[in-house]
């Protein structure tokens, strides 16, 4: 159940028990925006971001804020149940090696462009400034994982079935759109002599302006590109499984959900623009995915449609420490031992990998417990093998 802070012009509703000072300061900045609607919602995985905390939900009237969506537009999760019930270690290693052969990781791209038919359709590309500029380059990045917290994971479900999960976003095209429109918003806010403090890093665009409408179209293209990216990777992973297990291998329909975007929605009988930055839509009966950190369980969930969270939930465990702090302070042998004892084929091999160690993240079980009134857990997924950029 949420806690409420009432020191600011509008309330801050929190599903988090402990919050870092920087994230709290950013949440208070959001609550002081003149166009913020009703209240600010903080999910249990909330931590400091750029401008707006990651794991926060902001509803606005009549404006859209590029930095409240962030640079990895449309980043999200795909998960699929397979027809397999078990995998031995030797087979898992073979599957991982084959996946790495097909899917570029980290900063790597395809050597050839992917088929145009895999790119999002239904858009007039010539009308999209940044997407048009980046389109050809994006065809080389479609179906690539990226780095950071993005991953491919093979898991064992509490339904006794093997699952595959992919976490990735819109690659460079999303960053280019985000950076372009945030800089444009900053420039226009200065021109208008906006009273909004620049240090908030929350420059806005009036939603009825040409600039905002163009950003909204380009942002939605990036959301669709991120899904197309995950879908292509998932198809390649399924091909790897089919090559190993033959025609008897089957999968259920793919579950997909994003966690970095803005959308026009109705809340409290008012049409608003809901910004979810590191937060997942959890409308009533919506099937979603909440991943754990490397080595921790992930969850398939069903939304409860909680109005006070703007029908949202956490997008994962959430960081406990920054990347540099994790690399500097965590013990490599201890982190490797934790994963080895769970018999997980992981990607912690050197000191620089510790930014994605389990100890760099919050406890996912605690996070799930804090949001019982936001989602119902349908399935628990235990990691067997992880691929990271």
pLDDT band at 226 (very low <50, low <70, confident <90, very high): very high
pLDDT at 1 exceeding the cut of 70: no
Please provide the CATH number assigned to the domain covering 3-320+361-388: 3.90.1860.10
Residues with active-site annotation: 315
How far apart are alpha carbons 342 and 187 in whole angstroms?
51
Residue 347: predicted pLDDT: 85
Residue 48: predicted pLDDT: 95
Q: What is the DSSP string of 164-181?
A: EEEEE--HHHHHHHHHHH
Contact predicate 278/49, CB 8 Å: yes
How far apart are alpha carbons 234 and 51 in whole angstroms?
32
For the chain, give the mean pLDDT: 96
pLDDT in tens, 305-321: 999 999 999 999 999 88
pLDDT at 294 exceeding the cut of 90: no
pLDDT at 252 exceeding the cut of 80: yes
pLDDT in tens, 18-44: 899 999 999 999 999 999 999 999 999
pLDDT band at 159 (very low <50, low <70, confident <90, very high): very high
pTM of the predicted protein model: 0.96
- Counting every residue written for the chain, the total comes to 389
CA dist 313 → 153, 369, 378 (Å): 22, 12, 15
Contact predicate 69/43, CB 8 Å: no
Question: Domain spans of the chain?
Answer: 3-320+361-388
3-state per-residue secondary structure call for 301-366: EEECCCHHHCCEEECCCCECCCHHHHHHHCCHHHHHHHHHHCCCECCCCCHHHHHHCHHHECCHHH
């Amino acid at each position: 159940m949420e806690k409420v802070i009432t020191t600011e012009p509008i309330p801050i509703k929190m599903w988090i028990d402990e919050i870092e000072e920087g994230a709290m300061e950013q949440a208070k900045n959001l609550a002081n925006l003149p166009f913020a609607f009703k209240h600010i919602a903080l999910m249990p995985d909330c931590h400091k971001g750029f401008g707006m905390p990651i794991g926060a939900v902001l509803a606005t009237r009549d404006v859209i804020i590029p930095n409240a969506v962030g640079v990895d537009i449309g980043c999200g999760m795909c998960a699929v149940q397979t027809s397999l019930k078990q995998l031995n270690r030797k087979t898992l290693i073979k599957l991982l090696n084959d996946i790495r052969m097909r899917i570029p990781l980290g900063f790597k791209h395809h050597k050839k462009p992917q088929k145009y038919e895999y790119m999002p359709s239904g858009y007039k590309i010539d009308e999209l400034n940044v997407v048009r500029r980046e389109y050809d380059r994006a065809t080389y990045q479609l179906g690539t994982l990226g780095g950071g917290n993005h991953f491919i994971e093979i898991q064992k479900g509490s339904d006794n079935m093997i699952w595959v999960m992919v976490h990735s976003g819109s690659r460079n095209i999303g960053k280019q759109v985000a950076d372009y429109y945030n800089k444009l918003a900053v420039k226009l806010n200065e021109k208008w002599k906006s009273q909004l403090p620049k240090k908030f890093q929350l420059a806005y665009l009036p939603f009825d302006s040409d600039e905002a409408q163009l950003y909204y179209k380009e942002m939605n293209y990036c959301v669709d590109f991120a899904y197309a990216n995950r879908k292509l990777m998932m198809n390649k992973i399924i091909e790897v499984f089919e090559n190993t297990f033959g025609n008897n291998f089957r999968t259920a329909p793919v579950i997909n959900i994003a966690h970095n975007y803005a959308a026009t929605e109705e809340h409290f009988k008012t049409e608003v623009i809901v910004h979810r930055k590191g937060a997942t839509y959890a409308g009533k009966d919506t099937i979603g995915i909440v991943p754990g950190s490397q080595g921790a369980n992930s969850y398939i969930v069903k939304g409860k449609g909680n109005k006070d969270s703007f029908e949202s939930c956490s997008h994962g465990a959430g960081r406990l420490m920054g990347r540099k702090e994790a690399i500097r302070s965590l013990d490599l042998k201890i982190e490797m031992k934790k994963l080895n004892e769970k018999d997980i084929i992981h990607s912690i091999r050197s000191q620089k990998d510790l930014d994605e160690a389990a100890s760099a993240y919050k406890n996912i079980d605690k996070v799930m417990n804090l949001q019982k009134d936001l989602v119902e857990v349908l399935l628990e997924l235990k990691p067997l093998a992880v691929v990271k950029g």
